[in-house]
């Protein structure tokens, strides 16, 4: 039931997003009909192209046509590449997915690890260092971090490639750029969440049963401490994708985020429309997924 | 002459001891702020940043957009404290004028997102019902665009440039204001004096403006500090991507985008400029965190 309700709630947002993207792209100055017909074309030819594209019809009618085509998976052809937008977007998406998953995994492992250690060693220099690391992580421009990593590891040490795509060696620096950013915030929240849980009665009970600290921490405390961390991951997905846009650009990573930026620079309207829509849709669905994971970890949510 | 019967009991006898402490020791919030070294550091960075922005024309050694091509890509020296860039322009001068641009973008973007977001959030929180639903859905839709993508879409429509960046970064910040203000207004609204004002028959907008908002300023100020940092970061990222403020303008992100091609021979251009962005954003975040801890009743006692 909960799953259905959340799915149902996402529908109006998705419709609103498609409408905003559709309208924005039509607000972009310039006449696509003239662009396609060419500068030399006569007014009659431009008019014919306009009719051909359906641009002479009312906006709402155009939107409905656009929506029905979109539901059939047709987002038009890219001006720049000449290929269908859907094809281009799907071709680029796996690269972004790989980068995002690698970055996310790195930030969870680093963040939860550092956060837990810092909660257990509360008040030590390590704990204070975690707080500084967290705030530094969110303040750092990712394009700068990426360039510094390139200068150190690619230019000076020559250990890793400065950009490109293909092997795991190409993945290391981009994933690190993304991962370090996420790790700080996750570490900070894990720390406070673990501290909170360690104060609970059932943890004291587990201690007094004579369980070793290690199993109390891992079996009892950590699972419950993860509930707010999962929420944070959901809230952070947007910021994460922001950083992915920049990261892909610095490393020449052939993902969809970079595709969107080049589409804006090339004024490739169908491609802007398609890639922004796709990213927004992926984002809405991942948020939904996080909510569902949340409900699995903490059964109380489902009945709220 | 005030009616003596209305004076609080004991008022005529109680002696208020002369508080001889200076003002910054008396105010509990200011005292908390000054006792935390990180907050003080943050405030110092913010003041230094604003001083750079305001005093740029007097501090800069040379024109930020004019250079001598013969002295290009020089490392830091006594003549050029932070070296020169690919066109021989003095990096220090460019960074000073860049601070001016970042401050301008930050202030105006905050005006855009703060005014729209606060109004939406206040109305949603105070009236609830259908107003809340409409505002909530609008905010949800804005938030459905992951991160910087909304700003990129706005820039795609408006084209690059300083004004577009201000508007894009401003729109980007609306949801956070709307959410925080809504939550604050929802809780302040429950307080007795608001109910008293309602019972006295005051008009809703009067209550909202005079009684509710005046007691909701703390989270708004905290958010403004944090959002200022985000605005500086977002604006520089947009310019770095090439969709924001364009070269030769000395916007920090644009400087890094230009300096990127020289990272092998002159890494100082990108590293130093990035350090300025990093430290500035860090300052606003430290200050915002400190303000939050000092004004949040849950953390005050610690």
CA distance A72 to A99: 28
Q: Which of A123-132, A268-277, B269-278 has the lowest mean pLDDT?
A: A123-132
**pLDDT value for B302:** 37
CB contacts, 8 Å: A100 with chain B: none
Do A20 and B152 count as a contact with CB atoms less than 8 A apart? no
CA distance A183 to A191: 12
The dihedral sign for the CA sequence A145, A146, A149, A150? negative
Q: Please, which pLDDT band fits residue B108 given cuts at 50, 70 and 90?
A: very high
Do A139 and B229 count as a contact with CB atoms less than 8 A apart? yes
CA distance A176 to A243: 12
Q: Yes or no: say if B73 and B258 are a contact pair by the CB < 8 Å rule.
A: no
CB contacts, 8 Å: B149 with chain A: 241-242, 245, 260, 276, 279-280
Predicted confidence (pLDDT) per residue in B271-293, tens digit: 999 999 999 999 999 999 888 88
Q: Yes or no: say if A258 and A249 are a contact pair by the CB < 8 Å rule.
A: yes
Predicted confidence (pLDDT) per residue in A87-126, tens digit: 888 998 888 888 888 888 898 899 888 888 888 888 788 8
Contacting A residues, span 206-245, partner chain B, CB-CB under 8 Å: 237-243, 245
Residues 6+ apart with CB under 8 A from A287: A234, A237
**pLDDT value for A131:** 81
**pLDDT value for B298:** 59
Which residue of A261, A265, A280 is in closest CB contact with B145? A280
A vs B: CB pairs below 8 A: 140
Q: Yes or no: say if A174 and A95 are a contact pair by the CB < 8 Å rule.
A: no
Which residue has 């004024």 as its token pair? Answer: A267
- Does A198 contact chain B (CB < 8 Å)? no
Do B271 and A151 count as a contact with CB atoms less than 8 A apart? yes
Do A241 and B147 count as a contact with CB atoms less than 8 A apart? yes
Q: Please, which pLDDT band fits residue A299 given cuts at 50, 70 and 90?
A: low
- Does B145 contact chain A (CB < 8 Å)? yes
- Asked if the interface predicted TM-score (ipTM) of this complex is over 0.90, the answer is no
- Does A151 contact chain B (CB < 8 Å)? yes
Predicted confidence (pLDDT) per residue in A69-87, tens digit: 888 888 888 877 888 988 8
CB contacts, 8 Å: A136 with chain B: 278, 282
CA distance A114 to A190: 8
Which ranges constitute the DSSP H helices of A121-167?
Answer: 125-139, 142-149
- Does A148 contact chain B (CB < 8 Å)? yes
- Does B95 contact chain A (CB < 8 Å)? no
- Does A45 contact chain B (CB < 8 Å)? no
CA distance A133 to B173: 25
Picking from B38, B143, B148 by the largest number of A CB atoms within 10 A of its own CB, the best residue to mutate is B148
Q: Report whether pLDDT(A278) > 60.
A: yes
> Cis peptide before B248, with omega less than 30 degrees from 0?
yes
Q: Rounded to a whole number, what is the distance in Å from the CA of B205 to chain A's nearest CA?
A: 30
Do A141 and B236 count as a contact with CB atoms less than 8 A apart? yes
Q: Report whether pLDDT(A304) > 50.
A: no
Do B137 and A245 count as a contact with CB atoms less than 8 A apart? no
Residue bearing the bigger pLDDT, B53 or A165: B53
| Helix pair A142-149, B268-295: axis angle to 10 deg | 140
Q: Following DSSP, what letter does each residue of A225-246 receive, concatenated?
A: HHHHHHHHHHHHHHHHHHHHHH
Which residue of chain A comes nearest to B240, CA vs CA?
A: A143
Q: Which long-range contacts (CB under 8 A, 24 or more apart) does B156-161 make?
A: B156/A24, B156/A25, B156/A28, B156/A264, B156/A267, B156/A272, B156/B243, B157/A24, B157/A25, B157/A27, B157/A28, B159/A29, B160/B242, B160/B243, B160/B244, B160/B245, B160/B246, B161/B245, B161/B246
Nearest 5°: the CA angle B57, B62, B65 is 90
Q: What is the largest CA-CA distance in chain B?
A: 85
Which residue of chain A comes nearest to B279, CA vs CA?
A: A139
Nearest 5°: the CA angle B241, B243, B246 is 95
- Does B2 contact chain A (CB < 8 Å)? no
């Amino acid at each position: 039931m909960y799953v259905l309700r959340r799915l149902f709630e996402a529908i109006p947002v998705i419709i609103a997003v498609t409408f905003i993207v559709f309208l924005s792209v039509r607000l972009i100055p310039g006449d696509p009909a003239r662009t396609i017909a060419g500068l030399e074309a006569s007014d009659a030819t431009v008019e014919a192209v306009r009719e051909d594209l359906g641009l002479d019809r009312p906006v709402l009618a155009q939107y409905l046509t656009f929506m029905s085509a979109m539901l059939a998976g047709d987002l038009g052809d890219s001006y720049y590449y000449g290929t269908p937008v859907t094809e281009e977007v799907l071709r680029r998406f796996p690269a972004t997915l790989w980068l995002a998953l690698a970055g996310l995994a790195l930030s969870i492992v680093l963040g939860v690890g550092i956060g837990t250690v810092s909660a257990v060693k509360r008040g030590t220099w390590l704990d204070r260092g975690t707080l500084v690391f967290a705030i530094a992580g969110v303040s750092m421009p990712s394009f700068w971090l990426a360039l510094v990593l390139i200068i150190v590891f690619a230019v000076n040490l020559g250990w890793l490639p400065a950009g490109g795509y293909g092997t795991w060696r190409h993945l290391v620096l981009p994933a690190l750029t993304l991962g370090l950013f996420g790790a700080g915030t996750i570490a900070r929240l894990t720390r406070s969440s673990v501290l909170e849980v360690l104060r609970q009665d059932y943890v004291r009970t587990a201690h007094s049963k004579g369980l070793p600290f290690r199993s109390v921490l891992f079996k009892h405390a950590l699972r419950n401490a993860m509930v707010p961390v999962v929420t944070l991951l959901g809230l952070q997905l947007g910021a994460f994708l922001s950083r992915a846009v920049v990261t892909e650009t610095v490393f020449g990573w052939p993902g969809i985020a970079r595709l969107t930026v080049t589409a804006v620079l090339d004024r490739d309207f169908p491609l802007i429309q398609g890639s922004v829509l796709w990213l927004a849709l992926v984002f809405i669905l991942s948020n939904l997924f996080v909510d569902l994971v949340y409900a699995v970890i903490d059964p109380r949510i489902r009945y709220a | 002459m005030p009616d003596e019967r209305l004076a609080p009991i004991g008022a005529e006898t109680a002696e208020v001891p002369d508080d001889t402490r200076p003002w910054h020791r008396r105010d509990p919030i200011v005292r908390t702020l000054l006792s935390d070294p990180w907050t003080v550091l943050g405030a110092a960075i913010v003041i230094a940043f604003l001083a750079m922005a305001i005093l740029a024309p007097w501090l800069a050694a040379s024109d930020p957009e004019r250079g001598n091509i013969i002295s290009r890509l020089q490392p830091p020296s006594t003549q050029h404290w932070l070296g020169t860039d690919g066109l021989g322009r003095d990096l220090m001068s460019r960074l000073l004028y860049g601070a001016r641009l970042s401050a301008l973008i930050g202030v105006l973007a905050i005006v855009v997102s703060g005014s729209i977001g606060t109004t939406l959030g206040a109305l949603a929180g105070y009236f609830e019902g259908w107003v809340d639903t409409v505002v909530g859905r609008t905010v949800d839709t804005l938030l459905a665009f992951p991160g910087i993508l909304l700003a990129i879409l706005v820039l795609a429509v408006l084209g690059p440039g300083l004004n577009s960046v201000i508007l894009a970064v401003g729109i980007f910040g609306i949801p956070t204001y709307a959410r925080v203000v809504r939550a604050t207004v929802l809780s302040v609204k429950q307080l007795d004096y608001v109910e008293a004002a309602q019972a006295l028959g005051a008009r809703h907008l009067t209550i909202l403006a005079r009684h509710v908002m005046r007691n909701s300023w703390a989270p708004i100020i905290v958010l403004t500090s944090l959002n200022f940092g985000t605005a500086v970061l977002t604006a520089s990222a947009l310019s770095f991507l090439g969709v924001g403020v364009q070269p030769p303008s000395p916007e920090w992100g644009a400087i890094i985008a230009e300096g990127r091609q020289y990272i092998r021979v002159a890494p100082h251009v990108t590293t130093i400029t990035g350090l300025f962005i990093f430290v500035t954003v860090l300052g606003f975040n430290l200050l915002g965190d400190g303000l939050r801890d000092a004004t949040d009743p849950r953390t005050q006692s610690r």
